[in-house]
Amino acid sequence: MTVLGQQARAAARQMRNASGQTKTQALRAMARLLDTKKEELQAENAKDLIAAEKNGLEPALLDRLRLSDKALATMAAGLRQIADMPDPVGSLTASSTRPNGMRVAQMRVPLGVIGIIYESRPNVTIDAAALCLKSGNATILRGGSEAIHSNVALGTIIGQGLAEAGLPSHAVQVVGTTDRAAVGQLVTLTDYIDVIVPRGGKGLIARLAREAKVPLLKHLDGNCHVYIDSAANLDKAHDITVNAKTYRYGICGTMETLLVHTDIAASILPRLGQTFKEKGVELRGCERTRTLLPQALPATQEDWETEYLAPILAVRIVDTLDEAMDHIARYSSEHTEAIITENLSAATRFQREVDSSSVYVNLPTCFADGFEYGLGAEIGISTNRLHARGPVGLEGLTTLKWVLAGDGQLRG
């Protein structure tokens, strides 16, 4: 791992100075190679699929592992899309001239070396490498052992793309070992890795957070809330709430607890209860909720704390906006929360005072995604407070350095 780190650090210095054109060329070459080398890739992928089937991997996970024609075409399209995005490196911001005539500005530059630790999906190998490369970083990719043959084969394609553009071969390195100790080493290589983006289940991320000395760009939980205010429009409240829960059960922006103002509860909850029944969503409610929705099971303390990632929803009736915000402050994982209201003052207070990485007015929490925000793509979502917060795109993979220019001004 240390050797990989040293090689990445050396490559990062070259990558930092690579032109936008060169990086675009490498990404386009990779997209082309995904198509022309399809058979080789699928042959390597087949080895992973056979092993996974033998190990009894669930069909849904097998499907994610498969490099089908469609999956490869999607990856190639993603590469071309990232290739076409503007180069974030080198732009100047916060430019000013000081009273003594010296010019001060901040220049956007790559972070350096980025580690990506992820589980089974081999498409992450391409997506993450592309975003890190576009932003001028060197990358070390450590995927799941189930996808090792696929990832190494994709690493070869990436290497060929780098070579075609004249970029250093160590700019993207796929860890070729499935040794679990490798992950523990990666997260402590503070001399060689600037930040690690872990993508995977809560178990993996919690373990990394305990062991890491390298900063992690991560979120652990997406315990997201929707609050239906007393001044909500009933139709919007219904549709937003249903969308927030049922767009997809397994994503981090899915609503897990619904808070409803007591004045509107009788008007909205029975209707929502009917829809959630039709959709097969199990409800767990506070006592007052259960008088309006007898179908709901009693909610416990644990329900307020849980990210179900499943067709289950906790529901609680509150007396005031403040009570809703208190509940959120106590239980939220600071990922994404939404208010549904037509009242400007309630909307403004909620958006100012709720301290989560994303705070919405009249929108479902499932919009939490870099592409939806206009970032073009995302490397992940962060609930860290430092550096990037919320969906992280190319900009979150860069940093700012100060650049000053003068003509011999002296201090003192």
- Min dist CB 202 to a copy of itself, Å, is 17
The reply to whether 408 sits near a copy of itself by the rule CB under 8 A is yes
Give the bridge partners for 117, in sequence order: 142, 198
Among 111, 197, 346, 394, binds a copy of itself (CB under 8 A): 111
User: Out of 156, 233, 275, 343, which residue is the one contacting a copy of itself (CB under 8 A)?
Assistant: 233
Which residue of 91, 178, 185, 351 would you call a contact of a copy of itself, by CB under 8 A?
Answer: 351
C-alpha triplet 107, 112, 117: angle, nearest 5°: 135
Binding segment toward a copy of itself, per CB under 8 A, in 155-163, 243-251, 275-283, 306-314 = 243-251
Is 374 an interacting residue with respect to a copy of itself (CB under 8 A)? yes
- Beta strand pairing status for 92-97 and 172-174? unpaired
Tell me whether residue 302 or residue 407 sits nearer to a copy of itself (CB atom): 407
Instruction: Report how far residue 394's alpha carbon sits from residue 371's, in angstroms, rounded to the nearest whole number.
Output: 11
Could you tell me the strand order of the sheet in which 195-199 lies? Answer: 172-174, 138-142, 113-118, 195-199
Say whether residue 191 binds a copy of itself (CB under 8 A). no
Q: Which is nearer to a copy of itself, 31 or 89 (CB)?
A: 89
Among 91, 178, 185, 399, binds a copy of itself (CB under 8 A): 399
252 binds a copy of itself (CB under 8 A): no
Cite the DSSP H helix spans in 147-196: 148-164, 181-186
Start-to-end Cα distance in the chain: 48
Residues 6+ apart with CB under 8 A from 410: none
CA-CA distance, 84 to 27, in Å (whole number)?
A: 9
Amino acid at 197: V
CB 408, min distance to a copy of itself, A:
4
According to CB under 8 A, which one of 35, 63, 322, 372 is a site residue for a copy of itself? 372
Q: Residue 206: CB partners within 8 Å, gap ≥ 6?
A: 220
The site for a copy of itself (CB under 8 A) is made up of 13, 16-17, 90, 96, 98, 102, 104, 107, 109, 111-112, 194-195, 215, 233, 235-236, 239-240, 243, 247-248, 329, 347, 351-353, 355-364, 366-367, 372-374, 385-387, 389-391, 399-412
